Amino acid sequence: MTIQTFRTIQEMRTQVAAWKATGLRVGLVPTMGNMHEGHIALVSAALDQCDRVITTIFVNPTQFGANEDLDSYPKTEKSDSAKVATAGGHAMFIPSASEMYPAGFSTRVIVDGLTDCLCGIARPGHMDGVSQVVTKLLNQAHADVAFFGEKDWQQLAVIKRLARDLDIETEIRGVPTVRDEYGLALSSRNGYLNDEEIEIARKLNVILKKTAYDIAAGGFATDECMKAAKALMKSGFSHVDYVECRDADTLEMIDKAEGRSCRIFAAAHVGRARLIDNHLVN
């Protein structure tokens, strides 16, 4: 199955303008490739709500730290395009690094507040890199709606805020996390794990769900989160970056749920992978 592929911003813009001129609604699904069912769920959500869907693949160097997995991040463009085509996607945007960041590029996008907690602390600069590349992708595509996974809840909150603050017209929508049969959130980084590590990884969701339940039942979030971090270490995670309960929109730390819309967030390391997940507290 073939799928239209844009390599330049101009090619994509020309096609989007032509679609829009005939009244078609355009959806955008930004990804870094290495597609799994979670990405395909984004494409499917976009297809449900839009007439034409563009999926982007760009392994954005500015959101990786010096000791992170940029160089080893799987590049699977051909199979990714085939998966998107099979799902019914209409086009791919696969720019080069120089198309995205030409010589002399010097602009940063920093969303204060929402980025100085959770992954913003554990991965310095990561959220700024995400804000930068997503701002560019939204401006490049001029889509009506863009779709992002709820597994990266902080990323979604940051993107919603930057789109609002910078008057970007594209509507930002979250899509529920896709999980395996044991509740493990699908992630490209699960591919780094062996069988034993996968078993450990599957405990993350179980422990977070129990913690969310205990906080909703009236427990103090700081106590429950501390217990969760200990339980994760006991289950075999080698390091826990954070387990925290925060407001779902502002990401302010919360100690008592008391009817507020809050979520429990965690990031923990097993084998070569750093896994993140979050759950509603209700």
- Which of 30, 38, 89, 219 forms a contact with ligand PAF (CB under 6 A)? 30
- Which of 15, 55, 60, 81 forms a contact with ligand PAF (CB under 6 A)? 60
Can you read off the two tokens belonging to residue 3?
Answer: 């799928």
* R_g of the chain computed on alpha carbons: 19
Q: What is d(CA 188, CA 31) in angstroms, rounded to the nearest whole number? A: 11
Q: What is d(CA 245, CA 260) in angstroms, rounded to the nearest whole number? A: 11
Q: Which of residues 151-170 bind ligand PAF (CB under 6 A)?
A: 152, 155
- Which of 134, 138, 245, 264 forms a contact with ligand PAF (CB under 6 A)? 134
DSSP state, 170?
Answer: S
Q: What is d(CA 97, CA 119) in angstroms, rounded to the nearest whole number? A: 24
Determine if residue 108 is left, alpha or beta; phi over 0 gives left, psi from -120 to 50 gives alpha, anything else beta: beta
Catalytic residue among 39, 90, 126, 279: 39
Burial group, residue 6, by CB count within 10 angstroms (0-12, 13-18, 19+): buried
Residue 36 known to be catalytic: no
* Total residues binding ligand PAF (CB under 6 A): 10
Q: What is d(CA 240, CA 177) in angstroms, rounded to the nearest whole number? A: 21
Report in angstroms how near the CB of residue 210 gets to ligand PAF at its nearest.
27
From residue 193 to residue 212, what is the string marking binding to ligand PAF with x (rule CB under 6 A)? --------------------
133 binds ligand PAF (CB under 6 A): yes
Stretch that binds ligand PAF, among 46-54, 129-137, 164-172, 247-255 (CB under 6 A): 129-137
Which residues does the annotation mark as catalytic? 39
Report the interface residues with ligand PAF, using CB under 6 A. Answer: 30-32, 60, 63, 130, 133-134, 152, 155
